[in-house]
Chains A and B, each alone.
Chain A
Amino acid sequence: EAGVVQSPRYKIIEKKQPVAFWCNPISGHNTLYWYLQNLGQGPELLIRYENEEAVDDSQLPKDRFSAERLKGVDSTLKIQPAELGDSAVYLCASSLYMNTEAFFGQGTRLTVV
């Protein structure tokens, strides 16, 4: 069974440019998460979807970050414009339902120069 798939794996952009990350969760998983992991730290939740509804986005910096999960399957996380401090690994995870075990993708490592 395929795991959580993210693309791209690596992205280097100049500050003020837009960037987008894509996530395909495990088939049948209703809950999808985007986490941010800074170097040497644990992941921090940005947003959680239950099917296509964003039910927890309190940690998402809405002035520059946006996300969508059309049709309750794939999801896209966008940053516009990117800032130097956005350099980090962006992890997508999915779980069958809320409060069940989450499985993580390999992440997208973003470098903003």
Chain B
Amino acid sequence: ELKVEQNPLFLSMQEGKNYTIYCNYSTTSDRLYWYRQDPGKSLESLFVLLSNGAVKQEGRLMASLDTKARLSTLHITAAVHDLSATYFCAVDMGVSGSRLTFGEGTQLTVNP
């Protein structure tokens, strides 16, 4: 059974600071997604990582994937209040079709 673990689960940081969210998963996969969810809203796709060594950046967020270590990171650079949300990583087993297994989510609060 695939397990996806994120840490930290809660993150409070000040504006302007940098931080990294980690996503570990237990079985081989080469498809990993990062989503953002605002309170009461649905999931917004941030990044799709499809191969070992993939790195993608959008604004102050950068995601990477190391399939050998079964690890993805979401790095936040110079955080701003608008980044406050819950961030989920999701791993796609993809053996017989899509089945996203989500982590528990990291609740990020960026304080002024």
Residue positions of A touching B, CB distance < 8 A: 31, 33, 40-45, 48, 50, 55-56, 91, 95, 98-107
Contacts and interface: CB of A to CB of B under 8 A. Distances in A.
A48 B88 contact: no
Interface of B: 4, 31, 33, 35, 41-45, 48, 88, 90, 92, 94, 96-105
A99 to B, nearest CB: 5
A52 to B, nearest CB: 15
A48 B99 contact: yes
Contacts of B31: 99
10 contacts: A33-B100, A42-B88, A42-B90, A45-B99, A55-B97, A56-B97, A91-B42, A95-B98, A100-B98, A101-B48
Contacts of A100: 98
B10 to A, nearest CB: 10
Contacts of B33: 101-102
Contacts, number: 59
B42 A107 contact: yes
A56 B48 CA distance: 22
B97 A103 contact: no
B110 to A, nearest CB: 19
Contact of A106 (B4, B42, B48, B102): B42
Contacts of B101: 45
Given A48-B99, A56-B99, A104 B43 contact: yes
Nearest to B93: A99
B42 A102 contact: no
A39 to B, nearest CB: 11
Nearest to B44: A104
A43 B43 CA distance: 10
A103 B100 CA distance: 12
B41 to A, nearest CB: 7
Nearest to B33: A101
